[in-house]
């Protein structure tokens, strides 16, 4: 089976500082990969490199495109990469404000990607927007409201709807549940898990919350100081951590 994303020795340095170094992994269709680690461990740098927001210094990121098969996204032309960014890829930011247009209604936010790929029928766009609001459990009556009037959890769900409307195959998530209270987090995780399973999405989730990866991720990658220190199946890594840092991480979680 061809991996959806094949990452080979990706490194990114900020001057003499290491952002992330020598990261290699494969992501297969339908698989959810979690990346955990403490603040400053290079998780977000890695995610931004993978999603094309930052150019890595070395390495290859080979994505299995729909039309041309596996292609290195780093040597692609910018229009092609940006096209991927709004069709086959999605990026969910930690802060919904970074991923939403706050001055545009919820319907317009969801419709933007559709219009960007050529939808020109208002009725159809609106129907899809309403459909997606329903899927992320936002009332249809809010379709013309701006995200500024939404709660944090709703904004995050709207951001997810906006990203998934074009049916992407790979979703990058940067701490999707950060900054939300626990009950809202639980609902969001439930929703994400449902969407990922129903749509057969592949996803890369960066988080420092082990509960999130326990629920969502099939495989786990633990990062420290820019390096990957441990990889494996989620349950295996969390239940039987081998690396000293992973052991510390797992034992640091408060048991209620």
Partner 1 sequence: MTDYNFAYLDEQTKRMIRRAILKGLAIPGYQVPFASREMPMPYGWGTGGVQVSAATLTPDDILKVIDQGADDTTNAVSIRKFFEKTADVDTTTVTSEASVIQTRHRIPEEKLTEDQILVYQVPIPEPLRFLEPRETETRKMHALEEYGLMHVKLYEDISRHGHIATSYAYPVKVEGRYVMDPSPIPKFDNPKMEMAAIQLFGAGREQRIYALPPYTKVVSLDFDDHPFDPSKAPHTCSLCGARDSYLDEVIVDDEGGRMFVCSDTDYCESRRAMAVEDVA
Site residues (vs partner 1, CB under 8 A):
78-79, 82, 86, 101, 104-105, 107-108, 111-117, 120-123, 125-126, 143-144
Given a contact cutoff of 8 angstroms between Cβ atoms, the answer to whether 162 and 100 are in contact is yes
Closer by beta carbon to partner 1, 112 or else 218: 112
The token duo for 87 is 């069709």
Closer by beta carbon to partner 1, 101 or else 197: 101
126: left (phi over 0), alpha (psi -120 to 50) or beta: alpha
Q: How far is the CB of 17 from partner 1 (least distance, A)?
A: 25
Q: How far is the CB of 162 from partner 1 (least distance, A)?
A: 11
Closer by beta carbon to partner 1, 114 or else 201: 114
Q: How far is the CB of 68 from partner 1 (least distance, A)?
A: 19
Neighbour-count burial of 5, counting CB atoms closer than 10 A to its CB (0-12 exposed, 13-18 middle, 19+ buried): buried
Q: How far is the CB of 80 from partner 1 (least distance, A)?
A: 10
- Strands 69-72 and 227-233 come out as unpaired
Q: How far is the CB of 135 from partner 1 (least distance, A)?
A: 19
Closer by beta carbon to partner 1, 113 or else 157: 113
Return the percent helix, strand and coil in the chain, to nearest 5.
40, 25, 35
Torsion of the alpha carbons at 48, 62, 167 and 177, rounded to the nearest 10: -30
Closer by beta carbon to partner 1, 46 or else 161: 161
Q: Is 88 helix (H, G, I), strand (E, B) or coil?
A: coil
């Amino acid at each position: 089976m061809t991996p959806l994303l094949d990452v080979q020795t990706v490194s990114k340095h900020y001057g003499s500082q290491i952002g992330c170094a020598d990261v290699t992994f494969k992501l297969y269709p339908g698989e959810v990969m979690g990346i955990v680690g403490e603040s400053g461990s290079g998780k977000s740098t890695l995610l931004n490199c993978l999603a094309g927001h930052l150019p890595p210094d070395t390495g290859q990121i080979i994505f299995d495109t729909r039309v041309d098969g596996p292609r290195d996204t780093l040597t692609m032309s910018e229009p092609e990469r940006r096209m991927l960014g709004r069709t086959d890829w999605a990026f969910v930011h930690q802060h919904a404000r970074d991923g939403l247009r706050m001055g545009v209604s919820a319907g317009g936010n969801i419709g933007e990607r559709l219009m960007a790929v050529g939808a020109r029928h208002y009725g159809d766009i609106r129907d899809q927007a309403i459909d997606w609001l329903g899927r992320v459990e936002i009332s249809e009556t809010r379709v013309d409201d701006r995200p500024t009037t939404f709660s944090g959890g709703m904004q995050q769900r709207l951001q997810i709807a906006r990203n998934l409307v074009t049916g992407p195959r790979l979703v990058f998530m940067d701490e999707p549940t950060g900054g939300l209270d626990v009950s809202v987090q639980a609902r969001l995780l439930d929703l994400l898990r449902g969407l990922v399973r129903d749509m057969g999405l592949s996803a890369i989730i960066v988080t420092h919350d082990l509960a999130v990866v326990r629920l969502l991720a099939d495989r786990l990658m633990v990062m420290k100081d820019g390096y990957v220190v441990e990889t494996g199946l989620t349950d295996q890594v969390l239940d039987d951590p081998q690396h000293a840092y992973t052991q510390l991480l797992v034992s640091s979680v408060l048991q209620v």
